[in-house]
A = this chain, B = another copy of it.
Amino acid sequence: MTGPRYTQLVASLPATVPFVGPETQERDRGRPFAARLGANENVFGPSPRAIEAMAKAAHDVWMYGDPENHDLRLALAAHHGVKAENIVVGEGIDGLLGYLVRMLIEPGDAVVTSDGAYPTFNFHVAGFGGAIHKVPYSGCHEDPDALTARAAETGAKLIYLANPDNPMGSWHGADTIARMIAKVPEGSLLVLDEAYVELAPAGTAPVLDPQDPRVIRMRTFSKGYGMAGARVGYAIGAAPLVTAFNKIRNHFGMSRIGQAGALAALSDQDWLTRVQVWVSDARATLGAIARANGLAPLPSATNFVTIDCGGDGAFARRVLSELIAHDIFVRMPFVAPHDRCIRVSVGRAEDLAAFDAALPAALDAARA
Contact = CB atoms under 8 A, between A and B. Distances in A.
A81 to B, nearest CB: 21
Interface residues of A, number: 87
Contacts of A46: 61-62
A45 B27 contact: no
A9 B106 CA distance: 9
Interface string A86-117: 00000110110010001111100000000000
A27 B57 CA distance: 20
B187 A5 contact: yes
Contacts of A252: 19, 21, 92, 94, 231
B58 A157 contact: no
B6 A244 contact: yes
Interface string A43-79: 1111000010011011111111111101000000000
A43 B92 CA distance: 28
Contacts of A67: 17, 19, 21, 23-24
B70 A23 contact: yes
B231 A253 contact: yes
A254 B15 CA distance: 19
Given A13-B248, A18-B251, A41-B64, 19 more contacts: A1-B213, A5-B187, A6-B103, A6-B104, A9-B106, A10-B102, A10-B103, A10-B244, A10-B247, A15-B246, A21-B68, A23-B68, A27-B70, A41-B63, A62-B226, A94-B251, A127-B248, A229-B256, A257-B258
